[in-house]
């Protein structure tokens, strides 16, 4: 059909991306105390990976409201 658009559901995208960002952050922040409680050490690359995971989670959680809630509806 000519002229029809596939509209995005911005609210659903916003909720899911915010939940994803928060989940990434929580997993990264909970993993380190759990490994200390278990008494096992993790290699340096895994410690760096957890730091990157927490940072990416924060960025996704903070940017998703602006992208899916403000910017994307104006672009469409």
> Which ranges in 1-76 belong to alpha helices (H)?
10-38, 44-64, 72-75
Q: What is the rounded distance in angstroms from the CA atom of residue 52 to the CA atom of residue 71?
A: 26
pLDDT of residue 53: 96
Q: Which residue has the higher pLDDT, 6 or 37?
A: 37
What's the pLDDT tens digit per position in 17-64? 999 999 999 999 999 889 889 888 888 999 999 999 999 999 999 999
Joined tokens for residue 37: 């409680």
Q: Where are the domains of the chain?
A: 17-75
Q: Which residues of 24-61 are buried (b: 16+ CB within 10 A; e: fewer)?
A: bbeebeebeeeeeeeeeeeeeeeeeebeebbeebeebb
* pLDDT score of 28: 94
pTM of the predicted protein model:
0.81
């Amino acid at each position: 059909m000519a002229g029809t658009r596939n509209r995005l559901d911005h609210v659903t995208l916003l909720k899911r991306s915010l939940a994803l960002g928060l989940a990434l952050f929580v997993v990264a922040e909970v993993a380190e105390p759990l490994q200390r409680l278990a008494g096992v050490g993790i290699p340096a690359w895994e410690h760096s990976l957890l730091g990157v995971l927490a940072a990416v989670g924060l960025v996704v959680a903070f940017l998703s409201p602006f992208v899916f809630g403000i910017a994307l509806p104006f672009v469409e």
